[in-house]
Structure 1
């Protein structure tokens, strides 16, 4: 059974990058704050 793919807006992706790189957060914490599965951002 295939899992549905996530579709993220460009703005959402930029926010995720900002959290992970500019605020010096570990990727898993940024994923938790954005309420997305950790493996999506950490992968």
Structure 2
């Protein structure tokens, strides 16, 4: 039962994050470039 609860929490977090990215119109490519820039430093 606890495993199922954890899956629901993860799903809700990912769902909220996805909608947040859509709201600010954040392109996946820009996100990838941002991560690539940060990992280089």
TM-score (ref. length: structure 2): 0.38
Q: Give 1 or 2 for the bigger CA radius of gyration.
A: 2
Larger RCO: 1 or 2 (CA < 8 Å, sep 6+) = 1
TM-score (ref. length: structure 1): 0.37
When you count helix as a share of all residues, which structure comes out higher?
A: 2
